[in-house]
Amino acid sequence: MTQLSRRNFLKLTGSSAAVGTLSLAPIAHAQQGSPPLPPGSTTLPYPRELVTKLSELAINQPIYFSYPDDRSPCVVIRRGREVKGGVGPEKDVVAYSTQCTHMGCPVTYDQEAEAFKCPCHYSIFDPDNTGQMVIGQATENLPRVILEYDDTEDALVAVSIDGLIYGRQANII
């Protein structure tokens, strides 16, 4: 049986390291060449999905749906007055992910308080101010579903999300 001398061992490990460096170099270069994506962004396209007809949306009555896939629960609300980021003729329709940004519990819309409440650790989010976290354990706002209103069809269409859905590294996976 042949024994490796110290010199030959070092030669081998040295050349292995060189091969490793060569094979990783293009990856390192590619990473340096493209700026890092902000959290929640993706190079994949968001789907355009009908949420509901505006005429089916009563003021302050939430309708729940999923976007951008079945594992991402969301809610749309017509506020009855113009709000930040609102769409539609009155700019009063907004939509959000219903997964709390603290630990992912499902937030519910409290019609009396006109706010989203998380039952797990009592975070509260403001539907009239782009899902802003008002109080509680969460530190991030609720991700906002970006809507478009098609007046020819009276349709509210989800087109993307602003903010990272809880538990994901990118919204589209």
Provide the total of helices (H) and of strands (E) in the chain, helices listed first: 1, 10
One residue of 90, 137, 159, 170 binding ligand FES per CB under 6 A: 137
Please report where in the chains the tokens 């976007």 appear, as a residue.
Answer: 67
The answer to the question of residue 123 lying near ligand FES (CB under 6 A) is yes
Q: Which of 102, 118, 143, 161 is catalytic?
A: 102
Q: Does residue number 133 form part of the binding site for ligand FES (CB under 6 A)?
A: no
For residue 50, the cross-strand partners are 157
Please report which helix (H) or strand (E) contains residue 116, including its range. Answer: strand 115-117
Q: How far apart are CA 76 and CA 152, in angstroms?
A: 20
Using DSSP bridges, classify how beta strands 49-53 and 155-162 pair: parallel, antiparallel or unpaired. Answer: antiparallel
- Residue 95 CA to residue 172 CA, distance in Å, equals 17
Q: Which of 18, 121, 150, 173 is catalytic?
A: 121
Q: What is the total count of residues that contact ligand FES (CB under 6 A)?
A: 11
- We find the least distance from the C-beta atom of residue 145 to ligand FES, in angstroms, to be 18
**Is 29 among the residues known to form the active site?**
no
- Give the Cα separation of 41 and 76 in Å (integer): 22
Is residue 146 near ligand FES by the rule CB under 6 A?
no
136 binds ligand FES (CB under 6 A): yes
Applying CB under 6 A, the span of 56-64, 86-94, 120-128, 144-152 interacting with ligand FES comes to 120-128
Give 56's DSSP letter.
G
The verdict on 106 binding ligand FES (CB under 6 A) reads no
Binding pattern for the stretch 60-99 against ligand FES, x by CB under 6 A and - elsewhere: ----------------------------------------
Q: Which residue has the tokens 């949306």?
A: 57
Query: Cα dist. 66→11, 28, 51 in Å?
Result: 58, 37, 9
CB closer to ligand FES, 118 vs 164: 118
The binding site for ligand FES (CB under 6 A) comprises 100, 102-103, 105, 118, 120-121, 123, 136-138
* Catalytic residue ranges: 102, 121
